[in-house]
Amino acid sequence: MLRQKSRNDRFGFTLAEVLITLGIIGVVAAMTMPTLIQNYQKEVTVTSLKKMYSTLTQAAQMYQAQNGITYEEFDTSLDGKSFMAKYFAPYLHVIKECNGFLDCYEDYPLAIDRNKQYKFINYIVVLADGSYLGVLAIPSGVLFFFDINGAKGPNYSGRDIFSFYLINKSTIVGNEGCASTIETLESGLYPGGYSGCYVPFTKYPREELLGTSVHRACNRNAAMLTSGSPYDACAAVIMQDGWKIAKDYPW
């Protein structure tokens, strides 16, 4: 007598079919996983960058409100440590101070070209979330060095390291060629650094920020200082793109 087929007989899979299916799933996962991981890393990067910009802006605003001053009354003649202690540290959760890069890193982080080393920042604080925040006094104000994940890699400018630029135009002297441009500047805090005539990168067209014609642009082939530049334009690009990392960003 012939055995009547059951539901399991009609809908079962052979071992070979199961293995083939698992193999296909594995191949698809291997192809898509790197993209998913990269997209997640980009989201974390943008979130951290935007959060720090907000934190610094709020700290500056609170100090101004409590002391009745403007950005043009920030004392940018102070060294980095003193400037941080006076204007920003009281509003940040600082857990450690570092005297120079090698007190925080095993080796110097790299500029956007992945080759030149940073050696500019001589004072860095470690924040409660593990990020690093450094300061550097410049003729027109202060540059902030921000590493979103601290000593963890890759420690590349434009990837996990970014700059903010606090401009105090009342301190800019001795540059006659930039006099007319300086008059139009607004003191304040900007994502990214600056290029010619102390103009914040946020004021530049996007195509220039991603090109090679502007010094310290967000491009691995852009001209920069011999030993690396702590103030490239990448944070300005991300802000201009609506706080996201676009497909043509040099990730």
pLDDT, tens digit (0-9, with 9 covering 90-100), for 137-190:
887 899 999 999 999 999 999 999 999 999 998 888 766 778 888 888 999 999
> Which residue pairs from 19-25 have beta carbons closer than 8 angstroms and sit at least 24 positions apart in sequence?
none
Candidates 83, 87, 92, 89; CA nearest to 66 is 87
pLDDT at residue 6 tops 60: no
Interacting residues of 26 by C-beta distance below 8 A, sequence separation 6+: none
pLDDT, tens digit (0-9, with 9 covering 90-100), for 64-88:
999 999 999 999 999 999 999 999 9
pLDDT for res 215? 86
